[in-house]
Chain A
Amino acid sequence: MKIRKGFTLRSVADTSVVVPLGGAAEKLNGFITLNNSGVMLWKLLSEGADEPALEQALLDRYDVTPVQAHEDVAEFIGKLRKANVFDE
């Protein structure tokens, strides 16, 4: 799971939105905004984290159960995949 080159996070009216730069604009399938935990997961993903590492990060920083962390990460990944953000 690697974020495509050109996708980056920007802030608009205190909201984090995933935007494409250059050629990535042709790939993006719908714009998405991220909440605070989404921004944290995005940063970890762009540093190369895998799914278990993302789940662990949620467990470390938020009051969630392992089951919730697993579901939240799956939902997050699903949202990004649908937007065609991954190079896969």
Chain B
Amino acid sequence: MPLYGIGGFCVELIPKYPTLMRQAEPYRVTEERPADFSVMPEESFLREQKGKYPEASPDMLEYVFTGSLFARAALRHEAIVLHASAVVLDGAAYLFSAASGTGKTTHTQMWLSHFGAERAFILNDDMPLIRRFPDGFRACGTPFAGSTGWSRNACVKLAGICFLERAAGNSIRRISAFEGVPLFLGQTPRARDAELLELQLATLDRLFREAPVYRMGCCMSPEAVLCAYEAMKGADA
């Protein structure tokens, strides 16, 4: 059984189509060890999804639904995925989350242009994993990286999470759980049964107590990078 090391978990999966094969390859591990969990969508489930999304290719369905199985499995291990573009700068991860089309990728690309490849890289462009380790929360690359596919197999200290909105200018502020929890829940796959929901909320509870969360109105100008970075760097919960 092929094994993959994703976010520090040992994950069993068997990619059949090119996109998932290509995306998962950098995470492949060769040593034999017991898997933490397995993420293999059932054929019957994928056929059912094909009925719901007839325009989606089997390749895309495998990629997307393996990702959502991964997201669900992670909830059992104090970890949660967020629909976000994650950029790493100087060894700390900055996550920018928003509805599709807001400009997450554009924003994190501007970080790369501003700080350069020596200091910055994209950890994951669509579904980074946020996981609690003994020394605190870290953000991790996953193979599930949306349409750009940008991901890196790394786990990095979480600097902060920022919810982006388009605006005429740039402004950022730290937000409380009261404001942030609904935003987060809106950008992570919904836990559909009671047990998973409790696990999801327990991880969120810890995350909101330990990690700084922000809301930013931004335009797609390079100044947006400094506005976000100045506010988010070196913050403590």
Other 17 A-B pairs with CB < 8 A, given A10-B197, A17-B185, A30-B182: A10-B201, A12-B201, A13-B181, A13-B204, A13-B208, A14-B177, A15-B178, A17-B181, A19-B201, A20-B190, A22-B194, A25-B190, A25-B192, A31-B182, A32-B182, A33-B179, A33-B182
Identify the A interface with B (CB < 8 A).
10-15, 17, 19-22, 25, 30-33, 35
Say yes or no: is B55 at the interface (Cβ < 8 Å to chain A): no
B192 pairs with A22, CB closer than 8 A: yes
CB-defined contacts of A35 to chain B, threshold 8 Å? 178
CB-defined contacts of A30 to chain B, threshold 8 Å? 182, 186
Say yes or no: is B100 at the interface (Cβ < 8 Å to chain A): no
B194 pairs with A15, CB closer than 8 A: no
**Nearest B residue to A15, CB-CB:** B177
Evaluate whether A31 and B178 lie within 8 angstroms (CB atoms) in the complex, with A10-B201, A12-B204 already known.
no
A31 pairs with B185, CB closer than 8 A: yes
Q: Which 5 pairs across A and B sit closest by C-beta, in order of nearness?
A: A13-B208, A13-B177, A31-B182, A15-B177, A31-B185
Ordered by A's residue number, 29 sampled pairs between the chains whose C-beta atoms are within 8 Å are: A10-B197, A11-B205, A12-B177, A12-B205, A13-B177, A13-B181, A13-B208, A13-B209, A14-B177, A15-B177, A15-B178, A15-B208, A17-B201, A19-B185, A20-B190, A22-B194, A25-B190, A25-B192, A30-B182, A30-B186, A31-B182, A31-B185, A32-B182, A33-B177, A33-B178, A33-B179, A33-B181, A33-B182, A35-B178
Interface size class of B (residues with CB under 8 A): 10 to 19
CB-defined contacts of B31 to chain A, threshold 8 Å? none
Complex CA–CA separation, A42 to B205 (angstroms): 21
**Nearest A residue to B184, CB-CB:** A31
Say yes or no: is B221 at the interface (Cβ < 8 Å to chain A): no
Give the distance to chain A from B80, nearest Cβ to Cβ, in Å.
Answer: 12
Say yes or no: is B230 at the interface (Cβ < 8 Å to chain A): no
Complex CA–CA separation, A14 to B204 (angstroms): 11
CB-defined contacts of A25 to chain B, threshold 8 Å? 190, 192
Say yes or no: is B113 at the interface (Cβ < 8 Å to chain A): no
